[in-house]
Amino acid sequence: MRLRTIVAAAFAALMACNSTARADEVIRVGLIDPMSGAFSVAGRLGEQHFRFAIEKANAGPLAGTGKRLDLTIYDNEVSPEKSLTMLRKAIDDGVHYIVQGNGSNVAFALSDAVAKHNKREPNRAVLYLNYAAVDPSLTNDKCNWWHFRFDADSDMKMHALTDYLVTQKDLHKVYVFNMDYSFGAAVERGAVSMVKDRRPDLQVVGVERIPMGKIKDFTPYIAKFQAAGADTIITGNWGPDLSLLVKAAADTGYKGRFLTYYLGSRDVVSEIGIAGKGAAIVGVFYDNIDQPLVRQWTTEFEKRYDNTFGSWTAITSMMMLAESIKKAGSSEPLPVSKAMSGLTWDSPLGPITMRGENHQMLQPMFVAALDTGMAHVFPDVPLGFRGIGRIEGKDTAMATTCQFPNAP
């Protein structure tokens, strides 16, 4: 009798363990971004955002499904070559979902490698979720089925930024200044073409690219802006290549206005100081958006990490991944990719859609300028972003040349 009881108890415990295992399927997400080197601040901030976003996805769309997302970090030092090594390691680790955002040069390498891997080994397929690499080619001539972009591309952003520029009648001379790699070249092309012929008195007076992560003193470049009479700087610079640039401008008393893609990080605003008042950013998020859930998440994130909340695309990518897994009824990349292509999610900022034609997210975009007197300000400077323009997601779509060469 005692033996029978022990066996029954052991069987019940085994069944409980099996039930727990089934109810706790772990879906690994691999973040491939710089965790060391010159751009590590951006990578670490991304890690914080993804940990936060995964927590919200597990508590939201995936709650009760018996599945949960879990984050693994892979340091690529923003190197395309090392990123490929990290991709192979992630695949060997059993990761099926890759996220990356720092550097379109890295994005091109990962997108191509993921497509080739999935063709060779469809049973170990990987989905690449791009949260911040915004070269337009990634969802045009270089598109592939396994790549999904959650940020607006640089042309979409430039269209919004130049629309704002045209309304600023006190700005006349534009200097286009970028990092010398694929994204910087894309920003340059977009700026030059979209500023041209917009206003008779508006002209581009300088175009220049600098080696990525190599310049430590931007004072000589500020002198070039002044010599050209530039009152406006359009730049896609990010990380130290933006913070050191705006610091040099503040230190030399340069009065020109910066129109940027990546001004929203705490380290950059701290460097520019009060001289940054009026500088503008274009993107899919800014602080001081008046939406209750966004305000709640912003406060929660900043209290937890003592850092500025800003990577809204980390939230959207993990929420959309979770929604796609739930819709597909599977955590396998192929059915999830089919569920995600064309999916619309009613986000706190409005409806967002993963465009089926090229896997480019369509979502509301904003133009905002640093100003005093805002409800939410940066910890080191009494400045916060004031919204000055909103474009609905449906109005951000641009023509695409994407013809998926590998659609399943």
Cβ count within 10 A of residue 306: 10
Nearest-CA neighbor of 274 among 384, 164, 387, 175? 384
Give the chain's residues under pLDDT 70: 1-23
CATH fold of the domain at 155-283+364-395: Rossmann fold (3.40.50)
Q: What are the sequence ranges of the domains in the chain?
A: 11-152+293-362, 155-283+364-395
Q: Which architecture characterizes domain 11-152+293-362 according to CATH?
A: 3-Layer(aba) Sandwich (3.40)
Name residues whose C-beta falls within 8 Å of residue 135's C-beta, 6 or more positions apart in sequence. Answer: 104, 107, 108, 153, 154, 182, 183, 186
> For the chain, how far is it from start to end, CA to CA, in angstroms?
58
Q: What are 214's two structure tokens? A: 């190599």
Do the domains 155-283+364-395 and 11-152+293-362 match in fold? yes
Amino acid symbol at 253: G
Amino acid symbol at 354: M
Asked if residues 362 and 375 have their Cβ atoms less than 8 Å apart, the reply is no
Q: What angle do CA 300, 57, 132 make, to 5 degrees?
A: 80
Sign of CA dihedral 302, 308, 312, 317: negative
Give the Å distances, CA to CA, from 25 to 51, 69, 135, 180: 18, 9, 35, 43
- Kindly give the pairing relationship between strand 232-235 and strand 203-210: unpaired
Cβ count within 10 A of residue 75: 18
Q: What angle do CA 144, 145, 150 make, to 5 degrees?
A: 90
pLDDT in tens, 250-295: 899 999 999 999 998 888 888 888 888 888 999 999 989 999 999 9
Q: Quick one: pLDDT at residue 21?
A: 43
Q: Quick one: pLDDT at residue 2?
A: 47
At 247 the three-state DSSP class reads helix
Q: Dihedral, CA atoms, 165, 166, 168, 172, nearest 10 degrees?
A: 90
Sign of CA dihedral 391, 395, 400, 405: positive
Q: What are phi and psi of 255, to 5 degrees?
A: -100, 0
Q: Quick one: pLDDT at residue 87?
A: 98
